[in-house]
Chain A
């Protein structure tokens, strides 16, 4: 169990560019969440996967955002045509079926800065 990993840890991009983040959950966890955290705020839910199915999306997830989880393993979050308001920490968390069933394990996050 190496924990949840996220790459890259930091990303600086210019407004209008596309960016993609990757999350590798704990290997036996079938549930995966994405959250966004802006400065001075708590994390806000973006989307949820159970295996490869995306079962819930927040209204925060505009049309410029897309998330995938092919084969129910790693997940990617893509932001198209980035805006300065997208600058935030993007967090991924995973959860298993049994044992601490209500505990989500968080990755270190990807910090996005849009200039």
Chain B
């Protein structure tokens, strides 16, 4: 079984400050890792993903996340946040489903609400 823990339920920051949203996962098999973002009154959108290869992945809007296998972490970072980054962020993993078949179902963390203040 897989599980995801997002260590902070809420993170308030000021505009242009750096931010880190923490995510740890537990799995007995190799996983794929994702960060999804949910803006107010909108659906979930994929922010970035780690499937294989370079452990540092980046999004088009300045976020990055680093896969750390030894610490089973996939923390999300941004060096300078904007008001428009205010949203809820979800870390998720996927891996083999029932019978070892990879159905790609996602296991999500509880979410972190990022609030950027002017």
Contact = CB atoms under 8 A, between A and B. Distances in A.
A109 B105 CA distance: 17
A103 B34 CA distance: 9
Considering residues B45, B46, B90, B104, which has the most beta carbons from chain A within 10 angstroms of its beta carbon? B104
Contact of A33 (B34, B105, B110): B105
Contact of B42 (A40, A41, A44, A108): A108
A109 B43 CA distance: 7
Contacts of B101: 55
A44 B108 contact: yes
A91 B97 CA distance: 19
A82 B105 CA distance: 25
Given A48-B97, A102-B49, A106-B44, A42 B92 contact: yes
B110 A40 contact: yes
Nearest to B4: A42
Given A41-B111, A42-B110, A103 B105 contact: no
B42 A45 contact: no
A95 B43 contact: no
B86 interface: no
Contacts of A105: 46
13 contacts: A4-B43, A33-B105, A40-B110, A41-B111, A42-B108, A43-B44, A44-B108, A55-B101, A55-B103, A102-B34, A102-B94, A106-B44, A106-B45
Interface of B: 4, 6, 9, 32, 34, 36, 42-46, 49, 51, 90, 92, 94, 97-98, 101, 103-111
